[in-house]
Each structure stands twice: as structure tokens, then as C-alpha cells.
Amino acid sequence: MMSLKARRRELRANGFWVNFLGIIPLVWGCLLLFLVIWGLNVALGDPTTYLTMVREHGLFVGKYTIQNFIDVSQKFMIEVGGSNGIMRMVTYPEMLLNSLVYSLGCTLPRLVVTTLFSYVTARYEFKGRKFLYAFIMVQMMIPTYGQDAAKYKMLAEMNMVDNWLYYISQGAGHGGLFLIMYAYFQGLPNAYAEAAKIDGAGPFAVFKNIMLPCAVPIITAQGIMNFIFYWNDYATVMVYQKTNPTLSSMLYVLQTYMFYIGLQTPTYFAGIFLSIIPVVVLYAIFSGKLNKNVSAGGIKG
């Protein structure tokens, strides 16, 4: 049996490492919070005072105004080529709408198809089941630059580029979301399905009334994560939806050409903060519900 003295040494040693590892996320969180505060300081800063701060290598602007946020809707615009070949100006409100359509249009098909596919693959035995799982794993190992050229060629031939048909291609049912949903459905106890079958429920009724409600927390969480991912995705939009730019793709382009179009840095930062408001509101709405849903579950008698 370990002596009392040795036990105390072990507790002190473990306590040191626990405290040390706990400091790392605290420091990282404080750093991120500082960057947010500094960015908001620039977004609210007076453009002239901001230039003075840059010349003097200062940290905070000192003089603030909300005019930068008002100017966003007037100065954030991009000229793109329409489907008829005629150039047109896309304004900030249209880009905001494009971001919502793109994020929801990609998230919903992906959630629906992946949920159904992962449930069938995880809960039913059929020929080719292991092959499908192995095929998805191999497909995930292929680098992006090794498949995007063929993917673009295929979607272009199917007329699924630069229109709403592109969103259908997102319902492929593979990738990291499939692995998470597959593991979740496999981990659900068989007692759920067996209890429903005893009462005469068929396969669809078991899924609709038993399994799907149990998976609501994980589906909601993955839906929010995917929505945020697509909201911040700018590279894909610039390739497959270039005539319908979103806020993320606009911010990327304006960062490159802001000097030539006379866009000031405080106004650019104001546009960044306005672009993250929807995802912050989304998290604020669903964070409490997610915590309640995760703690719920089990067979209730």
C-alpha cells in the first residue's frame, strides 16, 4: 500500500499538472478576448485617428464613432459577372442574403442525407455495408487538391455551378459528419428499438419516433457547426458561387483591393463585426437548449 507521504507527493504532483494545463485554455481565451476588443476598437475608431495610431505604433485609437458601421452598407460592394455576361454590382444586403442562403442551402441537405445514411449504415446489416464505410474512409484521405478539379468539372458539366443546384451536391452523406453520426447511432442501446418493435412499430416508425428524437442534440449541434463553417467559407464560394458572393468571400476580396478602392481599415473591421452577428445570435439562441438536450435521454418508464 502506498504510504501517506508518497500519496501526498503524488497529489501535489498531479495538482501541479492539473493547474498548469488549466492555465493554457485560460491564457488562450484571454488572448482571443483581447483580439476581439482590439478589433472592436479599430472598428469604432475614427479613420484619421486610426492613421495617427498606426504611425505612432499605438495600441488603441482613442477617438470613436459609429459612422464606420453606417458606411458599411454603402462602401461594401463588389462587381461580378452575371449569368448573362453583364457585370453588375452586388451590395452588402444582397451579400448578407447570399450568406444565409448558402449556409442554409449547404447545411440542410448535408444534415438530412447524412443522418439517414449514417443511421441505416450503423443500425442495419446488409451486403456492402463494410465496403461503404471503408470507401468513405478512403475518400476522406484523398487531399482536397486531388479531387476538387474533377469535382468542379463534374458539377460544371451537370450545370450545378453558379446556381441553386449546387446545394444538392452538399447532400453527399460522407465526411466527418458521417463518422460522428455513425458512432452516435451505433452507441444507442438496442433496447430503444426493441421496445418499439414489441409495440408493433415498423422500421420507419422506430427511426421517426425513437431514434430521431434521441439524435436531436447531436443533429442540432452538428447543424450549428456546419452553418458556422459554411458562413465562414469563402474559398468554395469563390469557385462554385462566384456570381453570388457572400459576406466571407466579399471580405476576402476587399482585403486584397481595399487600398485601390479607397476602403478604410476601420470600415473594413466594422464589416467584419457585422458579418459575425448572425452566428453569435445563433449560438446565443441554441446554447442553452443544447445543454438541456444533452442531459436528456434514456428510457423513461
Q: What is the pLDDT of residues 186-213, one digit of tens each?
A: 888 888 778 878 877 788 888 888 888 8
- Domain ranges in the chain are 4-55, 76-263
What pLDDT was estimated at residue 31? 92
Confidence of residue 124 (pLDDT cuts 50, 70, 90): confident
Average of pLDDT values for 217-226? 87
Question: In terms of pLDDT, which residue wins out, 135 or 104?
Answer: 104
What pLDDT was estimated at residue 17? 62
Quick: pLDDT tens for 288-298.
Answer: 666 655 444 44
Average of pLDDT values for 146-161? 83
Question: In terms of pLDDT, which residue wins out, 284 or 97?
Answer: 97
What pLDDT was estimated at residue 298? 45
Nearest by Cα to 164 from 241, 99, 97, 220: 241
What pLDDT was estimated at residue 295? 46
- The arrangement of secondary structure in 76-263, i.e. its CATH architecture, is Orthogonal Bundle (1.10)
Over the chain, what is the mean pLDDT?
A: 81
Average of pLDDT values for 9-17? 61
Quick: pLDDT tens for 60-90.
Answer: 888 888 888 888 877 787 777 766 667 788 8
Q: How far apart are the first and last CA of the chain?
A: 45
What pLDDT was estimated at residue 72? 84
